[in-house]
Structure formats: structure tokens, C-alpha cells
Structure 1
Amino acid sequence: MADSTESESRKLLGRLRAALAEESAGQARLDHIVQIIADSMRTEVCSIYLFRDTETLELCATQGLKIEAVHQTRMRVGEGLVGRIAREGRPINAPDAPKTRGFRYMPETGEEIYSALLGVPIQRLGERLGVLVVQSKEQRHYTEDEVYALEVVAMVLAEMTELGAFVGEGAALSKRHQNPVLFRGTTAQEGVAEGRVWLHEPRVVVTNPIADDPERETERLHSAVNTLRVSVDDLLRAADNGDKEQREVLETYRMFANSRSWLGRMEEDISRGLSAEAAVEKEQSSARARLRSVPDAYFRERLHDLDDLSNRLLRILTGQGSETGSEMPDDPILVARSIGPGELLEYGRSLRGIVLEQGSVGSHAAIVARALAIPLVIHCDRVTTEALTGDHILVDGDQGVAHLRPEDNVARAFREKIAMRAKAQERYSDLRDQPATSKCGTTTRLLMNAGLMADLPSLEGSGAEGVGLFRTELQFLIRSKVPRRGELAALYARVMQAAKGRPVVFRTLDIGSDKVLPYMKPQDEPNPALGWRAIRVGLDKPGVMRMQLQALIRATNGGPLAVMFPFIAQFDEFRAARQHMLDELEREDKLGHVLPEKVEIGAMLETPSLAFAPRQFFEMADFISIGGNDLKQFFFAADRENERVRKRYDTLNVSFLTLIEHIVARCEETGTPVSFCGEDAGRPIEAMCFAAMGLKTLSMRPSSIGPVKNLLRRVDLKEVKTVIDEARASGAQSVRTELIDWLGRSGWSV
């Protein structure tokens, strides 16, 4: 590129910076900017379109089109050439725009006299903010230098839009980080919380997109890149521990960090007038756009690596997000795109709530959030874009929503809800030491689910009679390599000691599907929930399972041991898994280790097939636990991670209750203890139904024990069963409505 062009580019950016520094309203700034761009690029028209909402663009300023069209002309994403630029996120350079595919004539703008059009997206890290357009009367193809220059200007406009430079009288002008925003997501852990936003990986804010001294900015860039390279090399040296996959990721980091083309493009951006920070972010945005269009999955995955590297470089340049950054508020609500279980455990119970853009109801983060009893809402699209650390936020895990910067009336209503929940919990605490005995004299054992040592104190406070499910996979998920047998034995021993004589049922490693170990190669399966997971992995790769069984045996120190195997689909799988346990008991005995005084070996019934297993299965199993979460999704063929279908089928559907009744009857035939474990066990009406169908033991999260016990103690289960039978006989699809009506007539609310 010629020096004269570089000079013109820097000159244009210099004029833009002066316009942005003026003490003027947002609209006046926009009007001045389009005049400067049209004049500098020697075009008759320059227009700025910004998003009015997520699907609508609005003409917010123009030089050359009819002024009365400003804030009146709107178009949908994908509509016309401007809408196409917004949808595809890449420039359109049309010498004869009216004859270009997708052109839409907007008569109110007076654009019919213009032929050539160049439009570029105004976007920040892939986030669409608007479109910048120049037009000319003569037919012409804008040069590569002109396209590049307009992209640089659009980059600056994106930064200034993010910083609120154009807040003003225009309906579409940005008011981000100021107005209340309601996010409708998905419940992953119930509960409510009020607090202040703590961004897990805060966005770096570039406040100086334009720079006067390209030599100084280039030096700053080189210094930061050198620091980045040293830090990546340090990480690589620290990873020399045999962790092959971690090393492969870091090798990719080093490849990017040492890329001459990456550095060269950023140097070119600086020569055009951008600051070092803006140059890094411009290339980050460009790389995102390029990689999104690549069909190869491997190259798409590299997007995350490049993002992370660019963010590291930005933090080095700006000092943001360093040790000297802002302190976590006293009432933190964690906001993030996604988060791993290890990172979440590092925060621990200090968090009031969690809001994520990604995740699933069965994700690692959801499992840990449930273990820590922290309200979690997932699928809150763009929350990390809208939120700033310190913003006031309300998290409603019951409804699956988050209120960012809520209005006073919303906050007041929310606090009333929190107060009502606290009052209910006080009422439930009075029942802590009381049995869950219904009016008909039936007593239901209420156990709690756990997966961390931090869960065990809830045994006392919740009134649980024991642990019906201890998830052992969490200890594997939060580590970068397989834990050692001695470490696991020590952990399991502490769990048993903390239970103080109450029963604890350990579920062996349940991995696969949505729970992939960091050091386990993910399996490319079309439907992993129905794939190679849980006991299937254990039987095919028995080394880890045998090690875990040895750790459990040694942890008992001669006390009782209850172990159950997950995801059993047929009798032979249970028989084989049980034999592994018997073999390890025999081996430990030969080694002279103390054996448990009593061993119970059970199975989780999570597939409909096992409900129809041979009688010998029920005779061989010491106990059976119905895994309700998986059983329900397989019974209804409705993936519980799919929001379109997961709420379509009711747990109180008569078909599902009939299956539960069938399982209970088969267990009664052989005298096999059976329990129900899952989210539905912790919902009072569902728990009441299960108890009425004959289930004597329910296992749930600790916070649900109080509400469930409260309802069970107030009803006659024989009457509940009558209501269920009458609803079934009537041909009802679900018994929920009939039960709620019956509770209402009886004067009880849930």
C-alpha cells in the first residue's frame, strides 16, 4: 500500500477522532461522521444503519440520501444488499447495485440515481451492530484499499457504538449497559438470588481505537506479542507431564502466537491509523468471520484457540483483567459464556447465582451448581455482551429468567419472592427431625443426592436420612488426569465419616454423553445420550472401574458399602459389573485388606428395557434405583437437552406412572428395595405421586426435602392413588390437573 494511501487513511481516522471528541449529541456525531467519510472517500453517499432490534436495521444517518428517510427507513436482516451484509457479516462491493442479486429499491431514500455500492458490517467480535455504506453515481468497483479503509472505519464505529458514543435521540441508537434487560433462558438449577454481576472472563474494552503514532503502537504490539509468546512457552513447559491433549492445544496457541501473517496483518492495521488494541480486535473479528464459513470441524474448533490468544494479547496491552483488576463484589452473580466444573468449584459457595449463555441441564456446570445449591439459568443469549461487572442482577432459577439492571418495581417483587421462600424454609426446618409419614400411616424415606464433600453438611440441615446417590464422576471431571486410587479412597472415606452412620450409596463412574472427561478423547457419536457411556465404558475399559471399586472397598475401613452401577440396559451388563465387584472383593481379601462388613450391589434402572428384564435380575440386585432423568427421556424419546421437546411430556403422564407402578410391582415380587432418584423426586406433587404408586424411598437435592416432606405429611396416599386411578380410567393423558384440583378442594396449596 502506498504511503499516500496510508496517510489518507490515518487522516480520515484523525478527523473521525476529532468528531467523536466533540461535545455534541449522538445524532449530531453520526451526521458529522457520515459527512467526513463521504468527503474523505470522495463518494456522493455515506450512510450508517444500526440495529433497532435483533432483526431490524434502521437508517440512522446519511450524507447524500434524503434526510427525511433517517429513522424512517428500516429493513429486516437479509433484506436488500444492506440486510445481506448484516446477515452474512462480510462486505458487498457492487459496481451496479440495482442489478446485483438481492437489491431492494427504497424509494423514500432517493437512492435510484446511485449505481456503485460498497457496504461493510459494523461488528465487534462477531456481534452485529450495523452496516456502513458508501455509494456513487458512476458505475465503479471500489479498490481493495478502499474496502480495507472502510472496514477500518467500521471497526472504529463498532468500538464507539459499544462505548455509547452515539446514544441520543435516534430510536435505534445504542443504549447498551444502561437499560434494564430481561433474559429468558432455561432452568438448570432452581432457586432465586439477587446480587451484582461478576464476569468470569470480562470483555476487554478498547477505549482508544485511533492512534496518531504508528511506530509507537507497533512497538507496543511487538512488546505485547513477545510477552504472550513467553507466557505460552511457560505454559508448554508446565504441561510436560504427559498430558498429550493439553499439549496439543498449547502447541496450537504457540503456532498462532508465532504466526508472521497474523502479526503482519495487525501491523498493517496500525499503519492505517488503528491503535494496537484495535488492530488485535479487528483481526480477531476477521478471523471469526473466516473460520465460521469453514466447513471443516477441526478448523472451526481453532476459533476458540485464536479467541483465547487474542483475548490474552488484549489483556496484556490494556492491563484489563489482571491481578490489579476489580474485586469480586460481596454478592456475586457469575455471568459467563460457559464454565468448566473445576473453575466453578474454585468459586465455590461464594456465588449467589450463575447465568450462562451456553450449557445444558445435564452439563458439568449444572451438576456442580446443583451440588452447591446455586441457582443457575442457561441459554441467556448475549448476556456477556450486555452485562458489566458490578451491574445489579436478579436470577430466577425457578422461571429460567435473569433481570439485568432491573427496574425498581421488578426488584421489589423479586425481593418479596425471596422473603416468601425464606419464610417457607423456616417452616420446613421445623419438620427436619420429623418422619415423612403420611396421614395413612405410610412413611417415605427421603434421601439426598450429593457429589462433593461440600454437600455433606446438608445431611444435618435438610433432615435427609442418608445419601441415595453420591455421584463419583465429579472428582474425575474437575481434574486434568485420572485421580489415583489412594486419593479416591481417602475422599470416599471422608464422605462415609461425614455421613455419621447414615447410609451412602455410591454410583460408579457415569461418564460419556454430556460428561466427557478432560483427558478422555470425545467420541464422535450422532446421539451420545444413547451411545458409549456409563457402564458401557466401564465394561469395555474396565481398568478405571476396577480401580474405583478397589478405592471404595478400602474406604469403608470395615464398615458397610453400597455401590450401584449406572445405565444398565440388560441383565448381562449387571451380571458382568457385579462380578467385577466380587472379583475385587476377593482380590482385596487375598492382599490382606479389611473388607466391608456388608456389601450391597445395586443397579440404576434408567432404560425401559430393564423394567422388563428376567426375574433373575431383580433377584440378583440387592437394590434398584430408578434414574428418573434418563428413564423419562428414553421412555418419551424426548432429549432432555432439547428445549423443543423436553417439556412436552409430563412426568405425571399416566403411561409413565404405569411404568413406575410396573417396576414397583416387579421389585415387590422379589423383595428388592427400590427408590426413585432424580429431579422429579424433589418436586412435591411428583413425589406424592411416586409415594402413592408404592415407592418407599425418594432421593433428591437437599433443598427439596423440606417441601416434599411438608406435602407428604399432609396427605393420605390412598386417596392420592384413588385420584390417579380415576384419572387413568377416564382416559386422561396426565393426572396433574386432577391432583392439583383435588389438593385445592382439600384446602392444600403446593
Structure 2
Amino acid sequence: MSNTTGSGSRRLLGRLRQTLAEPGEGQERLDRIVKLIAEEMATHVCSIYLFRDAETLELCATEGLKAAAVHETRMRMGEGLVGRVAQLAKPINTANAPAERGFRYMPETGEEIYSAFLGVPIQRLGERLGVLVVQSREARAYSEDDLYALEVVAMVLAEMAELGAFIGEGAALAARHQQPVAFRGTIGQEGTAEGHVYLHEPRVVVTNPFADDAEAELHRLREAVDALRVSVDEMLISAPLGDGDQREVLEAYRMFANSKGWLRRMEEDISRGLSAEAAVEKEQSTARARLQQVPDAYLRERLQDLDDLSNRLLRLLTGQGRDTGAEMPDDPILVARNIGPGELLAYGRSLRGIVLEEGSVGSHAAIVARALAIPLVIHARRITTEALNGDRILVDGEQGSVHLRPEDTVLSAFRDKIAMQAEAMQRYASIRDKPATATCGVTIGLHMNAGLMADLPSLDGSGAEGVGLFRTELQFLIRNHVPRRGELAALYARVLDAAGDKRVAFRTLDIGSDKVLPYMKRLDEPNPALGWRAIRVGLDKPGVMRMQLQALIRAARGRPLTVMFPFVAQFEEYKAARQALLDEINREEKLGHVLPSKLEIGAMLETPSLAFAPKQFFDMADFISIGGNDLKQFFFAADRENEMVRRRYDTLNVSFLTFLEQIVRRCAESNVHLSFCGEDAGRPIEALCFAAMGLRNLSMRPASIGPVKNMIRRTSIAEARAVIDQAIENGDQSVRPAIMEWLRGNWA
């Protein structure tokens, strides 16, 4: 196989470039490519298998196998040697294919006479497109040069597929970035939105994988690598001296940026005919493939570092990326792998929706999205690979679904849904200033959740009676340092100013779990949701909690102040936190500062244990707010981040409603004010059932107040309770079917 030495690789790429430049449809090009590779590598067979769907490979072109097998031979992922190459995302090279584990004979291809087999994955940045195979009659392994040549060709095929080189009548590949794609993700923030894609970090597209002048490409690569190293050094110099974790990450960056092996491999790729960009991406694709196979978390992070560095290098080489000046559309839907709270706040309310590949329902991004009332879908796998700036996109935050480049029928149905919602919002506006009084005469207090000053205008517009939860952690999350007491006092004062005479319940700092401060050392906890978080952090690190409590007292300036402590699991925690606040009140009084005219101190009931606290707890608390999101996941032992279990348990499960009723009863015995705060409070059916179980105050996102008020005003809470009691007596697992049937009968 002398043709596939370094000079042979350049010749193969050169001929491939000429072939791709010739006119022709997609299938015709693929046919020419397999013929060319077979000739250049002096092998009997060359075949291209491409994915028809996520699990099925199809023979799309061949030189040497039976022509009738093209588009007829198909196999599942992992099936046969070709399927194993696709599954493992790495080459298989064997002199005796029939003896290999997993070999499967396809009689329609006529391949039984071929012994030697070399297959390499066709992939781009971890996205599997297919498999490129060469075969020979004689039993011998292909050389390292053969393997390298085939990998380079596979990489070029992936790039050209990205650019639409194989599109046309009878094409083997569907048009990339032109077809409709649907994604099923996780609900991060409810709401629906139609708009156009705006990529937080636009993908770099390599438009020319071939090197016109190898020396010039080597010079471009070395210049870009030098610039990359300088930028990493500058980041390291500017990193805070005390931030050991950040410095450790940047040191790893610098190690990779100065890796001689990384640079040498890219230089070799260029010497064999690739452009500088294609050489970087070839190494990046290799790192991505390894990333998917590595079980060790530390090694995965290091490979992620290399992946990020490759992206930086590609941006330097191409001038593409987030600084391209791509104009934001009038109706932007932000698409990103992940995003920090500061970056998201910088976009502000200009966004119609947000779609992330990563993140969590309790992440910084989700918190900000909820504060801004922007529909959010997370875990939309591979959307940053599929989406391009300007693509039309539909986001359904109520279903956790995303439609990219939707078909007309999908678009029409989605617009009908939005129109119906808009019509409903007009109805809700007409009852904005009316109480949420049911037909049986029971009135429910409806309050809103907030976390930003920008939320406060919704207080009047939504018809909320007050702020049932003001999240204070956002001001800590968006900074690179602990905010000063004066800054917080000024912010909290503005919140109270904006609320006027309406009650605002400030929740103290709720950090930990997946809400880690940028300047706080991240703990490697096996189960962060059950770990060192919220009030546990506050009591263990009293300095920050004291500073925040002082800021709240000073912000009140003689007005009423309501403070609640999050994630209280036992009476002693509440007593300690309450005493800390009272100590600060005494201290402020001694300093001669104006004290709040009225002080309410409460707790969030988010753990089942607190429902069974001694009666003294309920007697001591001024109010209790049920934190429904956490309480539900702990009650059912079902992680709300886990799609396999989070939908398994219904909020209207009889056991959960009975548990809520027990909390209502205990609060009533001590005459303590009780509310329910969380996503479920903003769902009309759930809100009605909570009211039927005795809850008289609900706190939710502003947009939910109208629908919930509309539901309550149209129904009888007493009748709803009778329906629930009958469902319980019948032994139903959930009261939802009975309630839905009753509502349909009432509203028919």
C-alpha cells in the first residue's frame, strides 16, 4: 500500500478535492468517491455506510460489493463489524474479518470472498454520521498509513456532508441544517415561544478542509497556537490569587495549550493535505470520541478542556464564533450548551426563549429564566450541533419540546396554541383586580415569586397580592465576589419601595446543591440535593448570613420585614437561624439604626422531617411556606433532575395530598400562616386541589396567577373536596382523573 504514505495521503486528498469539485448529484459524488479510494489504496472494496436514523446504518455507496445491495443492506448500531465501528466510534482493522467477534455475513453484498477489513467512523465533533470501509481478498492487516489515510478521508467526508456536498436527487444524505428536527428535553421554565435561533457560541464551520499551501497552513496554525497560549497566560495572570480551583483549571488549559504532542499531530495532518482548521477539528473529533468513552470524571473534564481549547483555536483561525457580530434577530431564541447567570442576565428580557443542551431545573440559568419569565427547555441533546443562527425555532416550555426548522403543519398548530393562550390572557386581564374567590365563597390568596428588580412591575400587572418568595441568591450568583452589605441593603430597599404596601417574603441565601457561587469552593458531594446547602451553609458560615440579615434590616427602614429561612429540616435549625436574626435586630438597635415596624420570621418546609417537628416549632414560627419542588422530590424519593422518575409520581397522588393536609392541620392548631410555593402552585388543576386540601395561600410565577385565579373563580372548592374524598375512598392512586372528569361535567 505504498500509495498511502504521507505523499500518498496528499495525493488522495488532492484527487478527492477534484472529485468533489466536479458537478453531480449527491449519490453520483459518493459513487465517484468510493471508486477513487479503492483505486488510490489499491484495495478491492470501498464502501460508505451512513445513518438513516439514530440506530440504523445503510450501505449508500460501494466499489467492489454487489451494486444491487446499495440502499438495500441495513444493520443496527453494534451489528456486524460495521455496526461495531459506529458504536465504538473507533476503527476496526483485521486481517481475518470472518473470525472477528461480532462479524455478520451479508449475503446480498457478495462480501464473503473478502478477508481483510478496515473500517473507520465518519464523525464530526462527536456526531456519528456513518462508517467508511475498505476490504481486500488477501488476509492481512492494513498499515498505519492506510488507517491514517482513511481517517482523514472520513473526516473530509463529514465536513463536506456538513456543507451539503452530497445533497440532490437520489442523494444518500439528507440536507444538513435544512431538515426539520424535534428535540425532547426537560421543562426548565414553562411558557411557549416562536422565534429565530441566536447561538450563544456559534459553531465554527470549516468551509475548506483542504490545504492549498501546506507551508502557509503550518504558519497560520503556529500563529494561532501562539495567540491561544498568550490568551491562556493572560487569563491565568488575571485569575484571583485565592481562587485555587480556577487557577487549577487554567493551569490544565495552559498544559494542553503548550502540549507539543497536540501541535505535532496537527502539523502532521497539515503535511498530509489538510487545512489548519481541518487539522484542529480532526484532533478535536478524536478528543470528543474519547470523551464519550472515558468513565473517569477527572479525565472527562481534562478532555473537555482540550475540546474547549480546540474551539478557541478554531475561532482564532476562522474569525468565527461569539464575536462575529452576528445580528440578533427581533425574536431571538437563545441556544447554547450551557450559560452562566451573568451572561444570561446580560441578554435580559430581549430573549423570547432559551434552549440548553445541559443545565438543570435548579441551575443558575433556570433561576434567571424563571425570574425573567422566559420559556426554558434544558437537556435538548445535540441542538447546538443542529441549529444555525437564524433558523426558525419553536419552544414549548410546558411540554419540554423544541421544534427546529418546523414543518408548516407543526408551525400552524403551534401558532394556534399561542393564539389560544393570548386569548386566555385577555380574559385573565379582565379579572386581574378581582379576588380569587370560589363559587362556594372561599377566597385564596395568590402571590408571586420573584428574584430580580425587573420582576416587580409584574406585582401590579399580574394581580398578585404580594411577593410570596423573593430569591436573594441571584445577587450572589452573578458576581465574582461577595456583594457588599450596602449594595444588598440598597437593592432590598428598592424591592420594598417597588412593592409599596404589599408584603414581600425575603428568602435568605439558598445556595449549594447546583447553585454554587463563583467564588465558593465547589464540594464534590455524591448527592448535592441532600448535601451542604441553604440553611446548613448559613449556620456553618454565619458571617455571610449575618451580613445579609443586617442588609435586610437596614433596607426595611421602619417598614415591615418578612424573612424566611430555606431548607429547614429540624426545629433546632430554625431556632438557631431565628436567634441569629434577633441578635442582629438587637445589634442594630444598639447602633441607633431604625428597626422594622413589624418582623415576621418563617421557614420553608421542604423536607418531610419538618412536618413532624415538635409543636413548639409551629408555635414559634410566624409563618411557614411549603417549598413544593423539593418537598415533592424528597417525599417520593424521585430526583426532579431525572427524567426516568420525575414524571413517575403525580402531584395529585393521594399520599402527597394527604401529607399536605396533615401540614395544614398542624399549622391550624398553632394558628400559623401557611402558603404553598412552587411550580405546582401555578398549575390550575393542582392549585384547585391544594385549596381543597385547606391551603389558602399560593405563590407562583406572575404569568400563572391569571390562569389559577380563573380556575378558582369558576369552581366550588367545597365540591372539589367532595370529589377528592370520594377518589380517596375508592382507593384511587391519584385524584387527577376524578377531578378532570368533574371539571368537564361542570364546564360542558
Equivalent AA in structure 2 for residue 736 of structure 1: R
1:209 deviation in Å?
0.3
Match of residue 657 from structure 1: 657
Describe the superposition over 1:217-268 as per-residue Cα deviations: whole angstroms up to 9, x where unpaired: 0011111112222222222233245433323222222222222111111101
Equivalent AA in structure 2 for residue 631 of structure 1: L
Equivalent AA in structure 2 for residue 555 of structure 1: A
Distance in 1 of aligned mates of 2:402 and 2:526: 32
Is the aligned partner of 1:422 residue 2:422?
A: yes
Q: Secondary structure of 2:8's match?
A: helix
Which structure 2 residues correspond to residues 610-689 of structure 1 after superposition, within 5 A? Answer: 610-689=610-689
Distance in 1 of aligned mates of 2:680 and 2:40: 65
Q: Secondary structure of 1:567's match?
A: coil
Distance in 1 of aligned mates of 2:440 and 2:448: 24
Of residues 436-445 and 425-434 in structure 1, the stretch that sits farther from structure 2 once superposed is 436-445
Distance in 2 of aligned mates of 1:473 and 1:319: 37
Match of residue 318 from structure 1: 318
Distance in 2 of aligned mates of 1:177 and 1:433: 48
Distance in 2 of aligned mates of 1:147 and 1:83: 18
Match of residue 351 from structure 1: 351
Q: Secondary structure of 2:641's match?
A: coil
Distance in 2 of aligned mates of 1:294 and 1:652: 41
Match of residue 548 from structure 1: 548
Match of residue 27 from structure 1: 27
Distance in 1 of aligned mates of 2:747 and 2:16: 70
1:2 deviation in Å?
11
Q: Secondary structure of 1:518's match?
A: coil
Match of residue 161 from structure 1: 161
Match of residue 494 from structure 2: 494
Of residues 519-528 and 117-126 in structure 1, the stretch that sits farther from structure 2 once superposed is 519-528
Which structure 2 residues correspond to residues 53-452 of structure 1 after superposition, within 5 A? Answer: 53-170=53-170, 172-240=172-240, 242-321=242-321, 323-452=323-452
1:588 deviation in Å?
2.2
8 Å Cα contact 1:280/1:310 also seen in 2: yes
Distance in 1 of aligned mates of 2:342 and 2:2: 52
Match of residue 572 from structure 1: 572
Distance in 1 of aligned mates of 2:54 and 2:535: 45
Of residues 282-291 and 130-139 in structure 1, the stretch that sits farther from structure 2 once superposed is 282-291
1:4 deviation in Å?
8.8
Describe the superposition over 1:598-639 as per-residue Cα deviations: whole angstroms up to 9, x where unpaired: 211100111111111111000110100011111111111111
Equivalent AA in structure 2 for residue 644 of structure 1: M
8 Å Cα contact 2:396/2:402 also seen in 1: yes
Distance in 2 of aligned mates of 1:680 and 1:727: 20
Distance in 2 of aligned mates of 1:349 and 1:294: 39
8 Å Cα contact 2:448/2:466 also seen in 1: yes
Match of residue 583 from structure 2: 583
Describe the superposition over 1:701-739 as per-residue Cα deviations: whole angstroms up to 9, x where unpaired: 000001111111122222222222222222222211221
1:594 deviation in Å?
2.2
Equivalent AA in structure 1 for residue 686 of structure 2: E
Of residues 14-23 and 239-248 in structure 1, the stretch that sits farther from structure 2 once superposed is 239-248
Describe the superposition over 1:625-665 as per-residue Cα deviations: whole angstroms up to 9, x where unpaired: 01111111111111111111111111112221111111111
Describe the superposition over 1:20-49 as per-residue Cα deviations: whole angstroms up to 9, x where unpaired: 111101111111111111111111111111
Distance in 2 of aligned mates of 1:573 and 1:442: 35
Describe the superposition over 1:141-190 as per-residue Cα deviations: whole angstroms up to 9, x where unpaired: 22212211111111111101111111234575132211112222222211
Equivalent AA in structure 2 for residue 34 of structure 1: V
8 Å Cα contact 1:253/1:305 also seen in 2: yes
CA 1:226/1:448 → structure 2, altered by over 3 Å: closer, same or farther? same
8 Å Cα contact 2:341/2:368 also seen in 1: yes
CA 1:289/1:411 → structure 2, altered by over 3 Å: closer, same or farther? closer
Describe the superposition over 1:32-79 as per-residue Cα deviations: whole angstroms up to 9, x where unpaired: 111111111111111111111111111111111111111111111111
Equivalent AA in structure 2 for residue 703 of structure 1: A
8 Å Cα contact 1:664/1:694 also seen in 2: yes
Distance in 1 of aligned mates of 2:432 and 2:377: 29
Q: Secondary structure of 2:650's match?
A: coil
Distance in 1 of aligned mates of 2:455 and 2:683: 19
8 Å Cα contact 1:48/1:132 also seen in 2: yes
Q: Secondary structure of 1:42's match?
A: coil
Equivalent AA in structure 2 for residue 140 of structure 1: R
Of residues 215-224 and 330-339 in structure 1, the stretch that sits farther from structure 2 once superposed is 330-339
Equivalent AA in structure 2 for residue 689 of structure 1: C
Distance in 2 of aligned mates of 1:657 and 1:737: 15
Match of residue 698 from structure 1: 698
> Alignment length, in residue pairs?
748
Match of residue 8 from structure 2: 8
Of residues 578-587 and 597-606 in structure 1, the stretch that sits farther from structure 2 once superposed is 578-587
Distance in 1 of aligned mates of 2:367 and 2:54: 32
8 Å Cα contact 1:438/1:716 also seen in 2: yes
Q: Secondary structure of 1:568's match?
A: coil
Of residues 439-448 and 561-570 in structure 1, the stretch that sits farther from structure 2 once superposed is 439-448
8 Å Cα contact 1:60/1:170 also seen in 2: no
1:99 deviation in Å?
0.8
8 Å Cα contact 1:7/1:272 also seen in 2: yes
Q: What TM-score results when the alignment is normalised by the length of structure 2?
A: 0.97
Distance in 1 of aligned mates of 2:456 and 2:252: 41
Match of residue 593 from structure 1: 593
Equivalent AA in structure 2 for residue 219 of structure 1: H
Q: Secondary structure of 2:557's match?
A: coil
Distance in 2 of aligned mates of 1:593 and 1:571: 30
Q: Secondary structure of 1:651's match?
A: coil
Distance in 1 of aligned mates of 2:207 and 2:233: 30
Distance in 2 of aligned mates of 1:119 and 1:730: 62
Q: Secondary structure of 1:746's match?
A: helix
Distance in 2 of aligned mates of 1:313 and 1:174: 30
1:553 deviation in Å?
1.3
1:521 deviation in Å?
2.6
1:507 deviation in Å?
0.7
Distance in 1 of aligned mates of 2:744 and 2:208: 63
8 Å Cα contact 2:26/2:172 also seen in 1: no
Distance in 1 of aligned mates of 2:184 and 2:80: 31
CA 1:476/1:218 → structure 2, altered by over 3 Å: closer, same or farther? same
Equivalent AA in structure 1 for residue 32 of structure 2: H
Of residues 477-486 and 105-114 in structure 1, the stretch that sits farther from structure 2 once superposed is 477-486
8 Å Cα contact 1:52/1:172 also seen in 2: no
Which structure 2 residues correspond to residues 720-735 of structure 1 after superposition, within 5 A? Answer: 720-735=720-735
Equivalent AA in structure 2 for residue 261 of structure 1: G
Equivalent AA in structure 2 for residue 658 of structure 1: T
Tell me the C-alpha RMSD between the 2 structures.
Answer: 1.7
Describe the superposition over 1:94-114 as per-residue Cα deviations: whole angstroms up to 9, x where unpaired: 011111111111111111111
8 Å Cα contact 1:558/1:597 also seen in 2: yes
Of residues 586-595 and 207-216 in structure 1, the stretch that sits farther from structure 2 once superposed is 586-595
1:439 deviation in Å?
2.1
Q: Which runs of 5+ in 2 are unaligned?
A: none
8 Å Cα contact 1:71/1:171 also seen in 2: no
Equivalent AA in structure 2 for residue 227 of structure 1: A
